Structure 1
């Protein structure tokens, strides 16, 4: 987990943040995407988000235009081969599903006949990107993870262990739990406005292991390895958690502003389909499927005109001027009676102050993300769209409704 950057300006942010949630009535009606088709045939590999982007400027508004067919067994599900049609009802765009040729999906099973889907419905988003994050507890709510059992060594004097290797783990004395997860503690996730406030403790999923023998140390066998097991990795009981994959994209609750805390996989620039951690969780009423707009801006930037950088005329600089010696970033503020050094022969010396001419960059929409897994104070989210490289610290806010 890379170190979080905090080079963000708080002066004047209250007014800028207010601008993130200003909503003008009747301005944000559902708008079609440029070149939206009148019909679209769903293909294998499509996602609901991709299809929504074919029709709508804001894909998260899909539920506002989708008219499901109540005669189907799963009226809200879309399958490869379905044809979607764009029409207008009372001046508003509506997307419906055309009647499939050959009637409903029917599979004949002797001696009964019943209707079933012969192909899986398309997912909301690309599940292969977030699959490793759906069932593994990558954020610990407290620092208890560091007090859990840990890998202390290996039977064959290896430096690391991999798939099917045995590992020694301190203090597992009961056979009540057979299956364990191996985690590597990471850096604490702290609030941007209060570095002393810990929101959770990041942990990297290393693998799964099965108990072979209790004791101190106990012996476990690695059954799944996302990376090499190292001495010091923590071992906790595995959770029988079912992955939540049926997301319903919808706007995040009003007023739920936050920040991107971290990005997974050790990258610095954040783009489409990257997984990030945001500083809002279940206690903020955040649920899987909630969509946020990502805003870039809020940083203090140098005013190059006021500081003289943009209009410097170096041919006219004189040795008698401040800028000749110190550059245009500094200005003369007066004389000091305090000598520069104890043995200075001059009673006074000039003082210069660095120019503070700057401006705060306005917030601009830069992409969208969707939450797919929540904890109490933080959540995992997938970047669905990015119009520029996003960064740790970028603000998030509910999209306009």
Structure 2
């Protein structure tokens, strides 16, 4: 029977001639690899698979994907795509488990030179390849940020006047904006309403603003006061709403990996119209780029400590111990905040639940 636990070795290198390795031979991330009890010897990738799903078929800890592939830091940020039809082989012949990719002429052509040249940087996700996490779960938050950095929000252009004395604007209406700056006719904008402050629950620092997407607009003429036309309105647009340049549709497919910094934070907001966030729900955490958080980082989620009900006033005040309830995949990072997708949670995730680097 194959042992389920192997210690990573920096000296063992597996180079089967008939197999194409996805990772360059760099030192593996420290920590042991625990295989699933029923880990297959090989797996054929099917449409709809994610890197997280595939990793979970082999590993008890799916975030250790880079370790079992023996990937370096650049490959984590710029992975070699895995496509439906690829055959992934679990190789334990050297004592350390490694995943290898069998040659596939069709899919090798799709991968092009990326597997041969580590300097190649792919910034646009190939829609045919297996994504890190379910793309449909995060698409609304990639195209329409509902959290805006404080400085960005304060400096954003704003709608300053409606076409009539009415304050509301709808699809097809003109609007007048200030702060557009050196743009040009044809520039596309997203329009956001509100600006609820998101404060750090401990330091009370304003980390950003939570906004509501209300529509799209196009610049028709520029100047100190620019003329826009509202091309789409999903809600009423009003004077004072902010403008954010429409982002390019881009998805960087970073693979799951753990932060180097000892990151600890809390859940500030949940989306999807729910108070109890379950699997594939987006949450906002009070940590961002300045804290060392980056795309693809995996954090553990812990239920926030709760007071133990005392029977009388003489009893000591006690709290429930930390309890891990799920994993969080960070997929969009702002200076002080980040979006994370809840994965395989055992109980609902709520505001002020804790997130931290695995192992802390």
Q: Does 1:288 pair with 2:295?
A: yes
More displaced stretch, 359-368 vs 186-195? 186-195
Distance 1:390 1:37 in 2: 32
Contact 2:41–2:90 (Cα < 8 Å) also in 1: yes
Deviation, 1:128, is 1.9
Report SS of the residue matched to 2:130: coil
Q: State the TM-score, normalized to the length of structure 1.
A: 0.67
Q: CA deviation at 1:220?
A: 2.7
**Is 1:45 aligned to 2:48, yes or no?**
yes
In the other structure, the counterpart of 2:217 is: 209
Check whether the contact 2:160–2:177 (CA below 8 A) recurs between aligned residues: yes
SS of the residue corresponding to residue 269 of structure 2 reads: strand
Report matched runs for 1:1-400 at 5 Å: 29-66=32-69, 76-100=80-104, 120-137=128-145, 138-142=147-151, 144-145=153-154, 148-150=157-159, 152-153=161-162, 161-162=170-171, 165-171=172-178, 176-177=183-184, 178-195=187-204, 197-213=205-221, 219-225=227-233, 227-232=234-239, 234-238=241-245, 240-241=247-248, 243-303=250-310, 307=311, 329=312, 354=313, 357-400=316-359
Contact 2:157 2:179 in 1 (8 A): no
Return the offset for 1:58: 1.0
1:375 is displaced (CA, Å) by 1.4
Query: Over alpha carbons, which structure has the higher Rg?
Result: 1
Kindly state the Cα deviation for residue 361 of structure 1 after the two structures are TM-superposed.
0.6
Q: Aligned partners of 2:136 and 2:103: how far apart in 1? A: 30
Tell me how many residue pairs correspond in the alignment: 308
Q: Check the 8 A contact 1:154/1:166 in 2, yes or no.
A: yes
Q: Provide structure 1 residue ranges, at least 5 long, that are not aligned to the other structure.
A: 1-26, 69-73, 108-117, 308-328, 330-353
Distance in 2 (alpha carbons) for counterparts of 1:66 and 1:46? 17
Question: What stretches of structure 2 of length at least 5 have no aligned partner?
Answer: 1-29, 72-77, 111-125
Give me the CA root mean square deviation: 3.3
* Bigger relative contact order (CA 8 A; separation at least 6): 1
For 1:288 and 1:184, the matched residues in 2 are separated by: 27
User: 1:271-305 deviations in whole A, cap 9, x for unaligned?
Assistant: 111111111111111111111011114222214xx
Q: TM-score under structure 2 normalisation? A: 0.74
- Go from structure 1 to structure 2 and tell me whether the alpha carbon gap of 1:216 and 1:267 turns closer, same or farther (over 3 Å shift): farther
Instruction: Output one character per residue of 1:336-373: Cα deviation in whole Å (capped at 9) or x when no partner.
Output: xxxxxxxxxxxxxxxxxx55544211111111111111
Residues in 1 aligned to 2:41 and 2:160: alpha-carbon distance in whole angstroms: 59
